[in-house]
Chains A and B, each alone.
Chain A
Amino acid sequence: MSDSSQQQPGILAGLLAVTRRDLLLAWKRPGDVLNPLFFFAMVCTLFPLAVGPSPEQLTVSGPGVLWVAALLATLLSLNALFMGDHEDGSLDQLLVSPQPLPVLALGKTLSHWLISGFPLVLISPLLAMTYRMSTDVMGVLMLTLLLGTICLSLLGSIGAALTVGLHRGTALLSLLILPLAMPVLLLGANTVSLAAGNEVYATGIWALGAYVIAALSLAPFATAAALRISNE
């Protein structure tokens, strides 16, 4: 008994193994990474085309548009979080693995964030520039998106776990996740707006940070519970 427990890899190793596997899979199918990014860029393009290119309007609405676009792009990529694993049976392997399931769920969520959330943060300054955002505000935008996309990936993993294997999954997932994501959007977008108006914006950053910590400590357990229920 004691021998087998020594041979078993540690918790961190399990987490990293899951993450590395998903990153490798994404590397082989770059569409998974690029599609949400293209989607993000296109939604940001739609807005000036719809309301006109006046600089005043773009400066005022820029933070909100970028944030809504980031939220929708994250949502778009969530469906695939457990879908492939569910179809090829590797999800069942995760469920019977001796590693604690919340840790593995966290690993999957981490890889989802690295694949979809983090690239969004990296290209956001490019799009923010077209909305005439100043460099200082861009920094705040990137910081809020960095914290916000972590929250969205964690929240989204709960929804993806609840809807894995259901027929009307995609529409249902949006219906479940959007109301949960509204506070994140509200905090993120308004913090950037405050920064753009030269006002005190620290409250929003702190609140987002607190949200990240709360979500990191609670969401993996909810995701694990949801995965077990969905795969009974």
Chain B
Amino acid sequence: MWKFFHQWASPPHFYRLAKVLIPWLAVPGLLLIAYGTYAGLFLASPDYQQGDAFRIIYVHVPSAYLSMMAYVFMAVGGGIGLIWRLKLAHAVGAAAAPLGAAFTFLALLTGSIWGRPMWGTWWEWGDPRLTSELILLFLYFGYMALRSSIDDTAKADKASAVLALVGVINVVIVHFSVVWWSSLHQGQTLFKKGGPGMDADMLYPLLAMILGFTFVFGALLARRLRTEVLYRERRTRWVRELVLTPGGGR
């Protein structure tokens, strides 16, 4: 098992495997998103309070979910990299950070646009979800800034892994403290504790979107990881052979 895992995680093998993997993640992901978009926009019945504005949930919630999942990827990758010295795990952190930041930004944008018709303002500090998402965006900025200011890749990997691990504890503390804080100020949330209480015609498109976003995230991450692996292994023999092969291994 351990041997199999090491072989799988070996850079040349991963580089080839990821290329095969990308379409298998991207195509189902895009199909799920296409279904979720159609069903969410046209089939689901409007919310009894928010009317058609609630349909923003179909892009807001999946991106908010991915923004946190990408952070977990960074922290788990960093942890594995520190403990078992697996280089590929550190590369996951490096590849996941910009994607996580992009989806955090998207969650903030869609949340803000959703808030405009619902609250009459583009930004509502009292909403715990938006506020903790904003702090999450700053955490991503810090992680990327630390990474880019250390030239030595191995050192940057380890330092940013420590930061990601400290940050993941912080994300939990941020969540609880912001919820406490907004309860003091009678915060307004965009949606009530919905979840399984939603009607099926509202819920299924949401689940399809979340799953589809996850697949697409996987494809994007695999693509960035290939670049990361190629760059880190640029002085090795397998990359040299790859590049010198006619047709190449792009």
Contact = CB atoms under 8 A, between A and B. Distances in A.
A/B: CB atoms within 8 Å of each other? yes
B159 A229 contact: yes
A230 B162 CA distance: 11
Interface stretch (B174-182, B204-212, B239-247): B174-182
Contact of B184 (A167, A176, A194, A229): A194
Contacts of A202: none
B165 interface: yes
A179 interface: yes
A67 B165 CA distance: 26
Contacts of A166: 149-150
A133 interface: no
B170 A175 contact: no
B163 A176 contact: yes
Contact of A211 (B162, B173, B178): B173
Interface size class of A (residues with CB under 8 A): 20 to 34
B141 interface: yes
A126 interface: no
Contact of B181 (A176, A179, A190): A190
A179 B135 contact: yes
B118 interface: no
The B contact surface, by secondary structure, is helix
A60 interface: no
Q: Which of B146, B155, B174 has the largest number of chain A CB atoms within 10 A?
A: B146
Interface size class of B (residues with CB under 8 A): 20 to 34
Interface string B164-198: 01110110011001101100100000000000000
Nearest to B170: A180
A214 to B, nearest CB: 8
A40 B180 CA distance: 28
Nearest to A174: B142
B149 A229 contact: no
A162 B139 contact: no
A190 B141 CA distance: 26
Contact of B170 (A183, A187, A225): A183
B159 A203 contact: no
Contact of A190 (B82, B165, B184): B184
B145 interface: yes
A229 B169 CA distance: 20
B223 interface: no
Contacts of B173: 183, 211
Nearest to A230: B159
A179 B177 contact: no
A163 B146 CA distance: 8
Given A172-B149, A229-B155, A179 B162 contact: no
B232 interface: no
Contacts of B19: none
A95 B221 CA distance: 37
Contact of A172 (B146, B167, B178): B146
Nearest to A218: B169
Contacts of B238: none
A110 interface: no
Contact of B139 (A158, A168, A179, A190): A179
Contacts of B145: 172, 175-176
B138 interface: yes
Contacts of B180: 187, 203, 207
B96 to A, nearest CB: 17
A146 B146 CA distance: 30
Nearest to B138: A179
B184 A175 contact: no
Interface of B: 82, 135, 138-139, 141-142, 145-146, 149-150, 155, 158-159, 162-163, 165-167, 169-170, 173-174, 177-178, 180-181, 184
What 5 pairs between A and B have smallest CB-CB spacing? Answer: A179-B138, A183-B177, A229-B158, A176-B142, A183-B173
6 contacts: A163-B146, A175-B142, A175-B145, A176-B142, A214-B169, A222-B166
